[in-house]
């Protein structure tokens, strides 16, 4: 074994950085990163689902062009979420992923399909090929958030089997939310018929999301002992979501697309926050493991904190550069690549 003199000199193993409650901060950060993934890749998923409603080849190209430069970067937030959970709560990472073995591979299959489809769609310009990959894009874009939602539901409700009715409802709610997200995003990136028609679908999905989310909570609080529907944070967040849903619909009607999009983003983070709040102080209800018991020891925790503290602001700056390089609506003649 080597002499741990360097680490000791740095003092990184002695106590949490600046005396911060790092376990709880990381719990929040992991969910914030997941929320960012669900918000950003969520509109990619939603655009993928709405792709099914467009028959015109030109409009389909516009939808692909709207997410073209962004979706690679958006998807990386899922990888970062996985990496962070692994680095800071490895026991939870291992337990959740191995417990939901087949579900994880369903998520992977959906992500593979969704990832390949837009790239493949553009490789050939004949009808049969584009129809197939268009279908693959739609299927991948709907199943990926569905399985991710079921996974989140299983996690929250401590389900140890394949799924429960409550977690299936969470899956459906997440699909509805991504459609809301995608439609709101297309409000910013498109004009004309595409914008108006997807906006109407987004408003329908908004209603569906509210119903499904409440149904999932009711079903979940009956089956899982740790979830109580009638608690202040739950009711507060549900109330806030209803309010934001109203803002989204009204702002959309008034052509205030930025406000509508912001109201949707807030709903996505609200959903993820609700999951985190309902879990806390546990992090894995199926085993009763708490946040403070699951976290790694002080030295690697401090190192991860320094790493994330330096890198995450940089990552945010890349996204600012990327989104400002392609700001504004996609042009009529824009294609995917």
- Residues engaged in binding another protein (CB under 8 A): 1-7, 12-13, 68-70, 72-73, 75-76, 78-80, 82-84, 86-88, 90-91, 93-99, 101-102, 104-105, 107-109, 111-112, 115-116, 119-120, 123-126, 296-297, 299-300, 303-304, 307-308, 311-312, 315, 318-319, 321-322, 325-326, 337
Q: Which is nearer to another protein, 232 or 327 (CB)?
A: 327
Q: Which is nearer to another protein, 93 or 257 (CB)?
A: 93
Tell me the closest approach of the beta carbon of residue 177 to another protein, in angstroms: 22
> How far from chain centre, in Å, is Cα 105?
17
Tell me the closest approach of the beta carbon of residue 296 to another protein, in angstroms: 5
Tell me the closest approach of the beta carbon of residue 113 to another protein, in angstroms: 9
Tell me the closest approach of the beta carbon of residue 98 to another protein, in angstroms: 4
Q: Which is nearer to another protein, 201 or 294 (CB)?
A: 294
For the residues of 158-223, what is the DSSP string, one character each? T--SS--HHHHHHHHHHHHHHHHHHHHHHHHH--HHHHHHHHHHHHHHHHHHHHHHHHHHHHHHHH
Q: Which is nearer to another protein, 37 or 209 (CB)?
A: 37
Tell me the closest approach of the beta carbon of residue 62 to another protein, in angstroms: 14
Q: Report which DSSP code applies to 285.
A: T
Q: What is the distance between the alpha carbons of residues 51 and 38, in angstroms, rounded to a whole number?
A: 19
Q: Which is nearer to another protein, 51 or 121 (CB)?
A: 121
Which residues have CB under 8 Å from 94's CB, separation 6+?
none
Q: What is the distance between the alpha carbons of residues 86 and 270, in angstroms, rounded to a whole number?
A: 24
Neighbours of 328 (CB within 10 A): 8
């Amino acid at each position: 074994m080597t002499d741990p003199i360097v680490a000791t000199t740095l003092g990184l193993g002695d106590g949490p950085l600046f005396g911060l409650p790092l376990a709880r901060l990381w719990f929040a950060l992991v969910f914030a990163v997941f929320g960012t993934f669900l918000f950003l890749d969520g509109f990619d998923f939603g655009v993928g689902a709405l792709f099914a409603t467009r028959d015109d080849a030109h409009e389909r190209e516009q939808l692909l062009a709207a997410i073209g430069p962004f979706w690679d970067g958006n998807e990386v937030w899922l990888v970062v979420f996985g990496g962070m959970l692994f680095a800071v709560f490895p026991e939870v990472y291992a337990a959740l992923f191995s417990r939901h073995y087949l579900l994880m591979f369903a998520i992977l299959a959906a992500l593979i399909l969704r990832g390949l489809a837009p790239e493949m769609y553009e490789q050939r310009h004949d009808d049969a090929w584009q129809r197939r990959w268009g279908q693959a894009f739609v299927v991948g874009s709907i199943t990926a958030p569905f399985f991710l939602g079921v996974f989140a539901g299983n996690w929250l409700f401590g389900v140890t089997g394949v799924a429960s009715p409550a977690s299936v409802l969470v899956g459906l709610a997440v699909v509805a939310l991504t459609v809301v997200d995608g439609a709101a995003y297309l409000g910013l990136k498109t004009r004309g018929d595409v914008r108006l028609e997807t906006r109407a679908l987004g408003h329908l999905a908004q209603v569906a999301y509210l119903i499904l989310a409440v149904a999932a909570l009711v079903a979940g609080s009956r089956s899982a002992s740790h979830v109580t529907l009638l608690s202040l944070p739950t009711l507060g967040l549900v109330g806030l979501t209803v309010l934001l849903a109203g803002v989204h619909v009204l702002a959309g009607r008034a052509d205030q697309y930025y406000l509508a999009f912001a109201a949707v983003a807030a709903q996505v983070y609200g959903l993820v926050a609700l999951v985190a709040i309902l879990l806390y102080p546990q992090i894995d209800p199926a085993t009763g493991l708490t946040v403070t018991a699951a976290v790694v020891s002080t030295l690697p925790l401090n190192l991860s904190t320094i790493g994330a503290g330096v890198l995450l602001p940089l990552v945010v700056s890349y996204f600012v550069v990327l989104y400002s390089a392609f700001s504004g609506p996609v042009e009529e003649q824009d294609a995917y690549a």
